[in-house]
Amino acid sequence: MKESRVEKFIELLHSFPPWLRKTIGGVLVVLGIFGFLPIVGFWMIPLGLVVLSADYRFARFIYVNLRWNARRIRRWKRQKPPDRSSI
C-alpha cells in the first residue's frame, strides 16, 4: 500500500527529539486557536495535531476525525440540491 504524505511526515518527525516534537505541536495548536489574528491562522491546528500524533494517540484520533469530517462536508456540498419545482 502506498504511504501517505502524513505518514511520511510523521516518519520524518521521529528523527527529532520527543521534547521538541511536543513543544512544536503544542505551540502550533495553541497559536491556531487564535487563527482570527492576522499573522497566525486556523491551518496551524491540523498541522500541530499531525506533529503531536507522532507521540500521542489521542492527537492522531482527532486528526483522522477532522480529515474524515472535512471529506464528508466536501462531498455533501458537491451533491445537487433536490428539485423543489414540483412543490
pLDDT, tens digit, 9 for 90 and up, residues 29-60 = 998 888 887 777 888 888 888 888 778 877 77
Strand boundaries in the chain, DSSP class E: none
Q: State the average pLDDT for the chain.
A: 80
| Residue 73 or 20, more confident | 20
* Intra-chain end-to-end CA distance of the chain, in Å: 49
Residues with Cβ < 8 Å from 83, sequence gap 6 or more? none
Q: How confident is the model at residue 2 (pLDDT cuts 50, 70, 90)?
A: low
Predicted confidence (pLDDT) at residue 1 exceeds the cutoff of 60: no
What pLDDT is recorded for position 74?
81
